[in-house]
Amino acid sequence: MNQGLKFSSMLALAMLLSFSMVQAASIEVRPGESIQAAIDQAGAGDGILVLSGAYQESLNITKPLSLIGIGHPQIDGGSADSAVLLYADGVSISGFDIKSTRRTGIYVFSDGNVLQNNTLSGCLDGIFLDGSNFNHIASNDINNNTAGIFLFSSNGNVISNNSIRDNHIYEESDCGIALVCSSGNTIRYNHLTNNGDSSLTLRSSVNNTILANHLSSNDWYGISLAESSNNNRIEKNNASENKGAGIYLDSSQENIIKDNSAWNNSRGILLSYDSNDNLLQGNRLASNGKGVNLASHSSNNTIENNTAIKNGYGIYLSILLLWLECRIRQSSHRQRLQCL
């Protein structure tokens, strides 16, 4: 390419970028004004800056844009609909205090969105992903909802660094994070506590990664997998002070449960109801009623290189109808091993 042609190409690219920047506008919304009116006015790619204050409205977003809260403005969707309905791909929502009355805080039907640095409380579900893929949900404070984050048939999402607590109002399907019929998601670095039945629940969900979360003080489980939640990786999590178990598998197979810590639970890790062919490796289990408990036809699991200290029982095998076939290798349990 000669120098003249190269210069012309660079100039054309610079003009294109400049044109794109000129096209993206910023719209400011003040208390007493309508956020929805600004959304309707905005073009694709525009930024909407919402100043601190209370906004009682339900938002319907059908174009890619950035919705940015300044001073944590409050959006209260009331009881008519979800506070935010998100239909467009590529939307960013950050810096808001979002509430509703027995409705969803942010209901997402689209892909590739970023939801970060928001507070969601008083909702049925804080965030609900419905057939929604490749979203990033980060650094939100999600509290005092029935469920914190709910994924249904949603794949490839990343949920990280959120504080998810006290999501058990009305005691209906209460949990911190729930995945139903969802795959390929990464749940990492979240702090989940006091979320009713379970802080993190998977049902019929496969090939997900559950990494380095802290899960505590739930009525039943820190992490629970049920209804053929297979081929998931549960690694480096810390589960403590859960009344049922730190990690619980029900009818789930071929999962890797590795390098987790479980302490002060009724059971550190519980496998039940045909939870077969799972690998339990390198876990640290302390001060639980039972360190590892295999029950109800859970067969052909491999338990190796785990450490169990100061539990009522290190590894406890409940054998029904002689269906249990368990390989236990190189486990340091340092207390009683009993089969009933």
pLDDT by residue (tens digit) across 92-139? 999 999 999 889 999 999 999 999 999 999 999 999 999 999 999 999
With contact defined as beta carbons under 8 Å apart, do 156 and 134 qualify? yes
Q: Which domain holds residue 100?
A: 28-339
Let me know if residue 19 belongs to a domain. Answer: no
> What is the SS3 string spanning 117-164?
CCEEECCCEEEEEECCCCCEEECCEEECCCEEEEEECCCCCEEECCEE
Let me know if residue 22 belongs to a domain. Answer: no
What pLDDT score does 18 carry?
A: 42
Segment 142-184, tens digit of pLDDT: 999 989 999 999 999 999 999 999 988 665 557 999 999 999 9
Let me know if residue 108 belongs to a domain. Answer: yes
Let me know if residue 14 belongs to a domain. Answer: no
Let me know if residue 103 belongs to a domain. Answer: yes
With contact defined as beta carbons under 8 Å apart, do 337 and 326 qualify? no
Q: What is the CATH number of the domain that holds 57?
A: 2.160.20.10
Tell whether the model's pLDDT for residue 60 goes beyond 50.
yes
Let me know if residue 143 belongs to a domain. Answer: yes
C-beta atoms surrounding 43 within 10 Å: 12
pTM, two decimal places: 0.88
Angle at 202 between CA 301 and CA 296, to 5 degrees: 40
How many domains would you assign to the chain? 1
Residue 284, strand partner residues: 261, 307
Let me know if residue 290 belongs to a domain. Answer: yes
Nearest to 71 by CA among 96, 91, 100: 96
Let me know if residue 21 belongs to a domain. Answer: no
